[in-house]
Chain A
């Protein structure tokens, strides 16, 4: 089985993890954003939050075109999660190490996107606060193992195009390998 040349990828994770920023960092087209004023300042201090999706596109070095869909982070938008998950071949979960319990976040999103992850591929990007956190990327990798998956875990600055591309290249490699199994 060969890998399709156009591939749908999800970027998910908790509110404020940097999903919109990561997508914008790599997209070759002007991203489509659906942001609203954030009224839940107790949850996060940012002014705006994604309420439906972000959309962008990126072409990898091998010519493969990835269609990137960023999800809203908050659970109340889980209807959008289900809609966006349809047809996805891979998931990037971004983890925010400044949040109270990044491992609980990982487990939550892993469970919520289990159907996509089981049928396709997943990588973990450890973003904000990784340098000051008591947890390391190894701890996140160990948490993935405890869930029964050995997943690539990368420390990334989601503002940096090369960091985000690293995540996407790793994910694409997984997808290709899965296609040949």
Chain B
């Protein structure tokens, strides 16, 4: 695969993920991937993930969720939330060029509003970096 982002842009985006994890201790992972499921960069705290596999699955879920929202005539989707027994996953599309996906994984005790707010801010910052 050709390089999607220059090293400088990738580094700048990575710093935003670091800032996100610093801002909310209950966030245990943040992953940036291409729209079509290639991992770009990740920051994790205390737990190992398989970023390549996660990137592909996130790509599929975002695309499926997008199709559901469109079928339901709810307009443009903004973000997707999955709550599980042992954590929460939030998925965002970053409307940059190229379009990217941001996945944020948080502990179950994390305050949803805080994770959502900080993750949205992170997505906006990454969009600003890439624009």
Q: Which residues of A contact B (CB under 8 A)?
A: 32-43, 49, 51-53, 72, 74, 76-77, 79-80
Complex: chain B residue closest to A80, CB-CB: B60
Of B4, B36, B53, the residue contacting A36 (CB under 8 A) is B36
B71 touches A77 (CB 8 A): no
What 18 additional pairs, Cβ within 8 angstroms, besides A40-B2, A79-B53?
A32-B67, A32-B71, A34-B64, A36-B34, A36-B63, A39-B1, A39-B4, A39-B34, A40-B36, A40-B38, A42-B2, A51-B36, A51-B56, A51-B60, A51-B63, A52-B64, A77-B37, A77-B56
In the complex, A53 Cα to B98 Cα: how many Å?
Answer: 21
The B26-63 residues at the A interface (CB cut-off 8 A) are 34-38, 52-53, 55-57, 59-61, 63
In the complex, A84 Cα to B99 Cα: how many Å?
Answer: 26
What's the dominant secondary structure at chain B's contact region? helix
Q: Which residues of B contact A (CB under 8 A)?
A: 1-2, 4, 34-38, 52-53, 55-57, 59-61, 63-64, 66-67, 71, 98-99
B37 touches A51 (CB 8 A): yes
In the assembled complex, how far is the CB of residue A42 from the closest CB belonging to chain B, in whole angstroms? Answer: 6
A53 touches B64 (CB 8 A): yes
Of B36, B56, B61, the residue contacting A37 (CB under 8 A) is B36
B60 touches A79 (CB 8 A): yes
In the assembled complex, how far is the CB of residue B95 from the closest CB belonging to chain A, in whole angstroms? Answer: 11
B59 touches A43 (CB 8 A): no
In the complex, A51 Cα to B99 Cα: how many Å?
Answer: 14
A39 touches B36 (CB 8 A): yes
B35 touches A36 (CB 8 A): yes
In the assembled complex, how far is the CB of residue B72 from the closest CB belonging to chain A, in whole angstroms? Answer: 12
Find chain A residues with CB under 8 A from B2 CB. Answer: 39-42
Given known pairs A33-B67, A34-B66, A39-B36, the reply for A51 and B59 (CB within 8 Å) is yes
Of A32, A38, A53, A79, the residue contacting B36 (CB under 8 A) is A38
